[in-house]
Amino acid sequence: MKKINFILRLVVGGWFVMAGAVKIWDPGSFANDVANYRILPNMLVNLVAIILPAVEVLAGGLLMAGVWKKPNALLIACLMAIFLAGITQAVLRHLDIRCGCFSTIEGRHVGFTTLAEDFGLFCAAAWLAFWYKD
């Protein structure tokens, strides 16, 4: 079980480090992706576009390193729940937008594939947050 937990930490943490790093590299593109969801007021879009990627990189990196495993996994699970809610509302509203997961990758639009991937990451992060044993 330790090997599975280790692999989950690397996969979930690595996913967040990569996704956050891409967004840090191109904050303007990520801000556009955030705005396209039409959830946040315009005055919060840039703040989220700047802060969220740093949080993703930090939480993912710490999870991979094994530092504060449960709190970081819980933070990632909460972020995934928020992302799932955002993507779900976009799908239900038939918004044809990029998901913003990897900000500069074109063609990655919100849809059921994105929901499935994010749900899998949510489940893995929740497992690490609530049932992980060293």
For 17-44, the pLDDT digits (tens) are 999 999 998 899 999 999 999 999 999 9
| pLDDT value of position 101 | 80
> What's the pLDDT tens digit per position in 75-93?
999 999 999 999 999 999 9
Tell me if residue 133 falls in helix, strand or coil: coil
Q: What is the pLDDT of residue 9?
A: 96
Single out the residue of 121, 38, 47 nearest to residue 84, CA to CA.
121
SS3 98: strand
Structure tokens at 19: 């996704």
What does the pLDDT look like over 94-123, one tens digit per residue? 998 888 887 555 557 788 988 999 999 999
Q: Are the C-beta atoms of residues 86 and 99 closer than 8 Å to each other?
A: no
| pLDDT at residue 104 in the model | 54
**What CA–CA distance (Å, rounded) separates 112 from 115?**
5
Which residue matches tokens 């005055």? 43
Residue 56 CB: number of other CB atoms within 10 A?
24
Query: Comparing C-alpha atoms, which of 134, 130, 103, 65 is closest to residue 122?
Result: 130
Confidence of residue 65 (pLDDT cuts 50, 70, 90): very high
